[in-house]
Amino acid sequence: MITKILLIILFIIILLLGLTLIKTLLVPKPRKHTEKEIPINTERAVEYGRSLSELIKIETISSKDDKSRDKFFTFHKELENQFPLIHEKCEKMVFNGSLLYKWPGNNKAEPIMLMSHHDVVEAPGKWTFPPFGGKIANGVLWGRGTVDTKSNLFCFLTAVEELLKNAFVPNGDIYLASTCTEEWSGEGGELIANYFKENNIKLEMILDEGGMIVDEPIKGVPGKFAMIGVMEKGMGNLKFIAKGLGGHASAPPKNSPIARLAAFINHVEKSDPFKAKFNSTVSEMYRRLLPNMKFPMKYIFSNLWIFEPILKKLMPSISSVGTAMLKTTCAFTTQKGSIGLNVLPQEAYVTANMRFIPHQGTEESIEIISNLAKKYNIETEIINKSYPCPVVNYNSKPFKLVEDTVKKIYPNVSCSPYVMSGATDCKFFSEVCENSIRFAPLEISPSQIDSVHGLDENINISTLVTGVDFFKSIIKNWC
């Protein structure tokens, strides 16, 4: 009897092995890119680089503690100098330093909006070239904002300016937006969104910052991919407060406020309370990346029907970015206890930045973490919160337009949807647009990705040419 059971088990194992191997072998081979690379017009690249350099030279660091908008109005003046036709032909609106232009169309198509912020983060540390020097060296422009995100803003404004020179009229109204508060989730995006709400304007598509064109988007997956963001998680900041009696540190009690906070943090780190799930966006992303994977990675991801439960548990040790695409995350950021070295605090706290996944949204995620904190006699205070944005259907007309345009401008690049782990101004526009796509059509290297919010931010001026052509094509082909 035991032998018979063992034989049945062996047969099932062999059958499963055979089925999984067949499924792996049936994965299509990587698409052959037989098209020749489109040559870059060097003169255009140099011209664009010099123009963008002038925008980089204007320091536009934003902070919630700095209420002045003078630096941003200086930036606006430079935009007027570089894009005179936009300022002549389009209606300009200013919302406390944030910009919105309306380019009237012929009403044959629904309105769309191109958006990219012009504020930047601080630039501390020792840079190879000054962060606001706008230095161009060997075809590379250096400076804060070159990637995040003055280059994207420059590309779509240049595209519109050049189309206006040719008296082009779009099929529908085109809105151009740029906030000065994105880096700290300030009011700029909300003020512009309120304009659309108050005027009952629905946008068919928003194209904002997000994914870009990268080589090897996931380690072990070679090839150039346009990573098109279709999902943005909600965001919140929570404060966890532990209280005690205080007193002298020479006779410390058990379960003091800091000890309880430490135990709570350790629990969250060791036993993540949030549910991982391969949502449709992540599944589609891996499906599109699958042909470029090497064995055994291809074997595992072509058989998620078997390996998904294992991957969900192993992903945190494989990739923090991969994990963030599957679940709500909680990152502890600041803390405070006693101000005295030998004094027990009567109250201590830590704060956490949370990113809420749609399948376990804002309220449910906060409830889960709050209930866990209660077990350690810790109170939870919500500092702020936002909700996950509508997920863009990767079969929708707006996504297909972006995808087709990438293939036209970058013939040797494949496309994939993906989950944004960061936050954008799109979060303010959920009520006025169901298709907020997070993608900047610029090719960047791994080191340039790492330079965002870090040292030596830089971009190749050659990619500005294809960026401008991408936006021209989007505008011309919208409906």
My answer on whether 426 and 358 are in the same domain is: no
My answer on whether 49 and 198 are in the same domain is: yes
* Cα–Cα separations (whole angstroms), residue 195 to 67, 100, 335: 22, 10, 38
Residues 423, 326 contacting (CB under 8 angstroms): no
Residues 370, 339 contacting (CB under 8 angstroms): no
Concatenated DSSP letters of 232-269: E-EEEEEEEEEE---EETTSPPTT-HHHHHHHHHHHHH
Spatial separation of the C-alpha atoms in residues 189 and 425, rounded to whole Å:
5
My answer on whether 354 and 373 are in the same domain is: yes
Beta bridge partners of 459: 141
Last residue of a domain, one of 343, 358, 385: 385
Last residue of a domain, one of 355, 385, 415: 385
What's the confidence (pLDDT) of residue 34? Answer: 57
Spatial separation of the C-alpha atoms in residues 232 and 437, rounded to whole Å:
9
Compute the CA torsion angle 410, 416, 421, 424 (nearest 10 deg): 50
Spatial separation of the C-alpha atoms in residues 215 and 199, rounded to whole Å:
42
With respect to residue 376, please indicate whether it lies within any of the assigned structural domains.
yes
My answer on whether 217 and 238 are in the same domain is: no
What's the confidence (pLDDT) of residue 4? Answer: 67
With respect to residue 19, please indicate whether it lies within any of the assigned structural domains.
no
166: three-class secondary structure by DSSP: coil
Concatenated DSSP letters of 189-209: HHHHHHHHHHTT--BSEEEEE
Spatial separation of the C-alpha atoms in residues 437 and 435, rounded to whole Å:
6
Spatial separation of the C-alpha atoms in residues 376 and 348, rounded to whole Å:
13
Residues 6+ apart with CB under 8 A from 441: 152, 155, 212, 213, 226, 405, 406, 409, 410, 466, 467, 470, 471
- Rounded to 5 degrees, φ, ψ at 98 are -95, 150
Number of domains in the chain: 2
Instruction: Note down the domain range covering 167.
Output: 42-231+390-477
Spatial separation of the C-alpha atoms in residues 128 and 149, rounded to whole Å:
20
What's the confidence (pLDDT) of residue 16? Answer: 66
What's the confidence (pLDDT) of residue 313? Answer: 85
Last residue of a domain, one of 385, 415, 449: 385
* Angle, helices 257-270/362-374, rounded to nearest 10 degrees: 130
With respect to residue 433, please indicate whether it lies within any of the assigned structural domains.
yes
My answer on whether 336 and 433 are in the same domain is: no
With respect to residue 10, please indicate whether it lies within any of the assigned structural domains.
no
With respect to residue 70, please indicate whether it lies within any of the assigned structural domains.
yes
My answer on whether 88 and 179 are in the same domain is: yes
My answer on whether 350 and 290 are in the same domain is: yes
My answer on whether 106 and 139 are in the same domain is: yes
With respect to residue 21, please indicate whether it lies within any of the assigned structural domains.
no
55 token code pair: 């925008």
CATH for 310: 3.30.70.360
Spatial separation of the C-alpha atoms in residues 60 and 122, rounded to whole Å:
9
List average pLDDT for each run of 10 residues in the chain, which is 479 residues long.
68 68 70 68 96 98 94 98 98 98 94 98 96 97 97 98 97 97 95 98 97 91 94 95 92 92 97 94 93 87 86 83 92 94 95 96 97 98 94 96 96 93 91 96 95 96 98 93
Query: How, if at all, do strands 140-142 and 458-460 pair?
Result: antiparallel
My answer on whether 150 and 81 are in the same domain is: yes
3-state helix, strand, coil in the chain (%, to 5): 40, 20, 35
Spatial separation of the C-alpha atoms in residues 385 and 387, rounded to whole Å:
7
Cα angle for residues 46, 135, 63 (degrees, 5° grid)? 115
Displacement of CA 441 from its chain's centroid (Å): 13
What's the confidence (pLDDT) of residue 296? Answer: 84
Residue 106's nearest CA partner among 397, 475, 473, 434 is: 475
My answer on whether 405 and 439 are in the same domain is: yes
What's the confidence (pLDDT) of residue 298? Answer: 85
With respect to residue 131, please indicate whether it lies within any of the assigned structural domains.
yes
My answer on whether 370 and 241 are in the same domain is: yes
What's the confidence (pLDDT) of residue 7? Answer: 61
pTM, two decimal places? 0.91
Sort residue 336 into left (φ over 0), alpha (ψ -120 to 50) or beta: beta
With respect to residue 28, please indicate whether it lies within any of the assigned structural domains.
no
Which residue type does 432 have?
V
**Does residue 74 have a cis bond before it (omega within 30 degrees)?**
no
My answer on whether 261 and 379 are in the same domain is: yes
Spatial separation of the C-alpha atoms in residues 327 and 238, rounded to whole Å:
17
CATH for 462: 3.40.630.10
